[in-house]
Structure 1
Amino acid sequence: MARSTPRPAARHAARVEATLASNAPARSALAASWRRSSEHHKLDPAADAAPHRLGEAELRDHRDAMGPLLHAARPSLDRLYQAVGGSGCCVLLADSNGVPVDRRGASVDDPVFRGWGLWTGAVWDESSVGTNGIGTCLIEHRPLTIHRDQHFLAKNASLSCSAAPIWDHDAKLAGVLDVSSCRADLADGFVDLIRLALADAARRIEAEVFRLAFPDARIVLAENGGLLAVDRDDLIVGASRAARQELGLTAERLGTPLPARDLLETGRACESLDHAERAVLTRALARAGGNVSAAAAALGISRATLHRKLKRDPSVRPSRAN
């Protein structure tokens, strides 16, 4: 009697089990996720259950909890879909529970993606469906791609999912941006392009969320792309996750007054009162186009007082006599 060929699900399950029986999880982030799926979440790689889907009322609660982030993300979702949608991909924005709350996709592909659970209201946390783009990104706090048979469940082995975390203005994980495809001919080179577009969209969303959180502050770009919110007294009132990592800012340090110049201009000597006054006068004159009368009015002092200050400090000069 001829030996029967194992079904794809059985072959995938055997591969997962063989990997877990080896010491691979100690060396591989993917294998470690498979082990979490098997041992911690008690999932079966051959299981054929579809992702759990929330009802409309529950989904509405998840959307409401996203707050301003959901609104801030929409232009970036549109732009990202324009970049990848023509290749049969859909774009998902999931919350910190692994539930997509917004998506972009071609209407012709909607029945396919809905069948896979790549839809708003589906639950893609790792404890429910094992290793996957959204759920594993939430666990590992890093951009990643789970490509085809890297998924824990055999039923998801036709999917390619790239995901990036979204951090809010307090450096808390607020959600995940995901691009998913079920096309068998998705080239590896295009997957790399998806990752680049995804990273750019995630940065744009985080920047917009940060600006909305500090509407009255000046937003300063740190050297490696982090954002600082600075108030009118030059004190830092907020820092993005990237800025906190770059500048070594902890929540405790941000809880005390911290001048932006002291943080950004390393090696600068401590400023004096005379230096601070000189800076104020220089800015006032610049804003007034060098007009002493207008600068004095803006500073709330008389023209004669401003002239005395300018005479005392020759380094500050109006651009024209008046």
Structure 2
Amino acid sequence: MAETRRAHHADQIYSVLSDRASAAQSAVAASWSRSLQYGLDPELGRPPERLDGIAFNLALERLAPLIHLAHETLDRLFQAVGDAGCCVMLTDRDGVPLVRRGKAADDIDFRNLGLWTGMVWSEASEGTNGVGTCLAEGRPLTIHRDQHFMTRNISLSCTVAPIRDARGKIAATLDVSNCRADLTPAVLKLIASATCEAAQRIEARCFRDAFRDARILVGPDTSRGAGGLLAVDRQDLVIGANYTARRAYGLTDEQLARPFPVGDILAPEAEAPGEDLAMAERGAVQRALSRAHGNVSAAARSLGISRATLHRKIARLRLENRH
């Protein structure tokens, strides 16, 4: 059965692509079409290209901070999927696996297929495949067996999610691959969910690390999708947004280069512009009282004003000291 599939795989690709409309109707067909444009042959038998030692070490050095932040999540993900025959790989933005997790019993097959550190899995090099096609399309996806372009890869099922940096650019991918014949659709769905969640955890940790001196807020959902993460400075100005937040609020690098009040996102219709100063004063007094556990003298010292002045502000702003 497997040999029959292999014998007809290339014919299937050429048959599908003979219909010019297929590439517009199917993401896989579109990727097959790109693969042919790269000059690739689905029956090419050579293994994936491999970086030399110097190039691999440079790639490893470039992604070292992200790899450091990802180790714990990679371990947890592998604990969840390793017994199902999966390997876990973190690749750079060029589709090169830099670190991986796998079990010895399965790693023999994975190594033979080229699912190993230093190998090049870009779409231009390997045609339609999980890592390369995820990078080409910029979204999580699964390339399951016959959906691969190369005939030698059709025993693989690869689920991959992009990992974006603090500016929303793809910096890496997280790949979970399986080559066991007994992989079921139900298990594949669980793998896809676990992969996306793990990629989101790595991405969030990288964002928090990039803005370690800022407050990180989760923005409200919009009609465009989930709100995402916002980095806010001490003046309550937005200084950063992850990819999800950028998409939800239509934020660009140019907009984020000029910090703006977080209230413009969290409560865009809450106050008129003329009320900003009063709201800022109210917030400062409330925070000082809270930190001082209601001790007016201590709160006044933290604000650099007298106790009598603070009492007047509390009365003018109609605040309640609830401590």
Comparing 102-111 with 142-151, greater Cα deviation is found at 102-111
Tell me how far apart the structure 2 counterparts of residues 278 and 143 of structure 1 sit (CA, whole Å).
Answer: 44
Are positions 1:253 and 2:251 aligned together?
Answer: no
2:229 to 220, 227, 230: 227
Alignment of 1:37-52 (within 5 A): 37-38=35-36, 40-52=37-49
1:76 is displaced (CA, Å) by 1.0
1:284 is displaced (CA, Å) by 0.6
Are positions 1:145 and 2:146 aligned together?
Answer: no
Tell me how far apart the structure 1 counterparts of residues 100 and 122 of structure 2 sit (CA, whole Å).
Answer: 17
Report the counterpart of residue 28 of structure 1 in structure 2: 26
1:287-308 CA distance string (max 9 Å, x none): 1011011001111112222223
1:25 is displaced (CA, Å) by 1.4
1:273 to 266, 271, 277: 277
Tell me how far apart the structure 1 counterparts of residues 9 and 314 of structure 2 sit (CA, whole Å).
Answer: 80
1:104-150 CA distance string (max 9 Å, x none): 11122222211111111010001111000000000011111110011
1:26 is displaced (CA, Å) by 2.2
1:218 is displaced (CA, Å) by 0.1
Are positions 1:156 and 2:123 aligned together?
Answer: no
Alignment of 1:41-120 (within 5 A): 41-120=38-117
Tell me how far apart the structure 1 counterparts of residues 276 and 8 of structure 2 sit (CA, whole Å).
Answer: 73
TM-score (norm 1): 0.94
Tell me how far apart the structure 2 counterparts of residues 141 and 222 of structure 1 sit (CA, whole Å).
Answer: 22
Supply the AA of the counterpart residue of 1:296. Answer: A
User: Root-mean-square deviation (CA), in Å?
Assistant: 1.4
Aligned residues: 313
Are positions 1:283 and 2:281 aligned together?
Answer: no
Pair 29,126 (structure 1): closer, same or farther in 2 beyond 3 Å: same
Whether contact under 8 Å (1:230, 1:237) holds in the other structure is yes
2:296 to 272, 275, 292: 292
1:8 is displaced (CA, Å) by 4.5
Tell me how far apart the structure 2 counterparts of residues 154 and 216 of structure 1 sit (CA, whole Å).
Answer: 50
Supply the AA of the counterpart residue of 1:303. Answer: R
Tell me how far apart the structure 2 counterparts of residues 100 and 77 of structure 1 sit (CA, whole Å).
Answer: 13
Whether contact under 8 Å (2:88, 2:174) holds in the other structure is yes
* Segments ≥4 residues shifted beyond 6 Å: none
1:309 is displaced (CA, Å) by 2.4
1:133-169 CA distance string (max 9 Å, x none): 0000000111111100110010001000011111110
Comparing 64-73 with 198-207, greater Cα deviation is found at 64-73
Comparing 86-95 with 52-61, greater Cα deviation is found at 52-61
Whether contact under 8 Å (1:10, 1:46) holds in the other structure is no
Supply the AA of the counterpart residue of 2:306. Answer: S
Q: Secondary structure at the match of 1:297?
A: helix
1:216 to 206, 213, 217: 213
Are positions 1:204 and 2:230 aligned together?
Answer: no
Tell me how far apart the structure 2 counterparts of residues 131 and 276 of structure 1 sit (CA, whole Å).
Answer: 54
Are positions 1:238 and 2:240 aligned together?
Answer: yes
Tell me how far apart the structure 1 counterparts of residues 152 and 313 of structure 2 sit (CA, whole Å).
Answer: 77
1:222-280 CA distance string (max 9 Å, x none): 12250000000000010000001111112221121210012211221222423321221
Report the counterpart of residue 192 of structure 1 in structure 2: 189
Report the counterpart of residue 3 of structure 1 in structure 2: none
Tell me how far apart the structure 1 counterparts of residues 227 and 268 of structure 2 sit (CA, whole Å).
Answer: 18
Whether contact under 8 Å (1:85, 1:105) holds in the other structure is yes
Q: Secondary structure at the match of 1:108?
A: helix
Whether contact under 8 Å (2:90, 2:173) holds in the other structure is yes
